[in-house]
Amino acid sequence: MPGFADRLNGIAISASAAMTDKATALKAEGIRVISLSSGEPDFPTPPHVVEAAVEAARGGDTKYPPQSGKHALKKAVQNKFLRENNLDYALDEILIANGGKQIIFDAIMATCNTGDEVVLPTPYWISYADQARLAGASVVQVPCKAENGFSLRAEDLDRAITERTKWVILNFPNNPSGACCSRADMEAIAAVLLKYPDVWIMTDDIYEHLVYDDFKFCTIAEVEPRLKDRVLTVNGVSKAYAMTGWRVGYCGGPKNLVAAMNNMQGQSTSGINTIAQAAAVAALEGPQDFLKDRAREYQTRRDLVVDLLNAIPNIYCHKPQGAFYVYADIGACMNKVSAAGRVIATDTDFVMGLLEEQQVATVQGTAYGMSPFFRISYATDVETLREGCDRIAKFVGGLK
């Protein structure tokens, strides 16, 4: 049989996608599964955004776009960075890609050589690690402990950086922990990064608009302008505008880095879908008020899920200030046996048991580099969340 590339060795398929697939297969058998694994808003894409796409398609905006993005979208991104983040990027410092995921892929592939290190505050979104490995780099974890609210301590970051460090990747609000980074903490992190002029800094701000309790989001290039010439500010429309399927991500960064990323993208996908670009312009330039309404709704759901989980003996759940995830500690459930006789030795055993015995889909902490935890996405309606937590309580209550 023909073989496969060595670079795929050790690259797993996304655990949340795998769990969503399992849940879908069970649903296809007619089983009622509660899906709390998927990282996507349950809200619809706003109608004015859909309308802009229809108009673009009808109007003939259907030809190859410029590789780095259409002028109108790059202008909209430029305005967004200025308006919301106080960041001034020239148009040749902006790149549009197929989702934030491709922006990150372009950046890592365009910069990492074998033996380089990518520093990841942990827990982290799994794709950073797998993309780094695909590029031949290795991952250096910096634990962000639950007892510190999963926040990144500047001194821990400092200890992790070596002469092989190519990137430090920041992601606050964080997937999976929901942790946010205050301005004071960001200043301390920036002070560390100023000491290492040969390190690129990526900030993945995709959950920027999903913050609660009046938390004020900040991003590192704005907090410390002296870092701006080595910061890549990554964002996208997926989470804020409920546009996961449109596949539009963008970034602002130094011109030479963005040019290298554009070169990388030119040999894979070229410029992205024109109709999705028109939709993204409408999202970024249109009304923004509904973002706050949606954030309020997420905050209500967060409060519900945190309260329900903390009422379950042997689960402890920190209350996060952003994103739409909770990352609950299940250390006290380890080495117990489920009602169906499954030994719970790891968080993977826990989520598999929960799926098979109570039909609730969640994601194991192992997928995010910190165990034993499990991630729940609360981007779903209150009734489903209540039933999900009820079933989790039954599963945990049955552990002996």
Closest CA to 186 of 243, 136, 132, 225: 225
Q: How far apart are the C-alpha atoms of 108 and 118, rounded to whole Å?
A: 9
Residue 107 or 206 having the CB closest to ligand PLP: 206
Residue 16 or 359 having the CB closest to ligand PLP: 16
Name, in order, each residue with C-beta under 8 angstroms of 128's C-beta and a sequence gap of 6 or more. Answer: 104, 108, 118, 120, 139, 169, 171, 204
Residue 236 or 252 having the CB closest to ligand PLP: 236
Nearest distance from residue 58's CB to ligand PLP, in Å? 26
Interacting residues with ligand PLP (CB under 6 A): 39, 99-101, 125, 171, 175, 204, 206, 236, 238, 244, 249
Nearest distance from residue 398's CB to ligand PLP, in Å? 31
Cβ-closest residue to ligand PLP?
A: 99
In one letter, which amino acid is 86? N
Residue 180 or 312 having the CB closest to ligand PLP: 180
- H, E, C per residue of 125-141: CHHHHHHHHHCCCEEEE
Residue 108 or 333 having the CB closest to ligand PLP: 108
Nearest distance from residue 249's CB to ligand PLP, in Å? 4
Strands 336-337 and 343-344: antiparallel
Strands 325-329 and 373-377: antiparallel
Nearest distance from residue 327's CB to ligand PLP, in Å? 13
Nearest distance from residue 395's CB to ligand PLP, in Å? 26
Q: How many CB atoms lie within 10 A of CB 97?
A: 29
Nearest distance from residue 260's CB to ligand PLP, in Å? 20
Residue 151 or 175 having the CB closest to ligand PLP: 175
Element (H, E) at 272: none
Q: How far apart are the C-alpha atoms of 305 and 303, rounded to whole Å?
A: 6
Name, in order, each residue with C-beta under 8 angstroms of 351's C-beta and a sequence gap of 6 or more. Answer: 19, 361, 362, 363, 364, 374
Residue 122 or 175 having the CB closest to ligand PLP: 175
80, 173, 322 from 149: Cα distances, Å: 30, 12, 12
Nearest distance from residue 297's CB to ligand PLP, in Å? 19
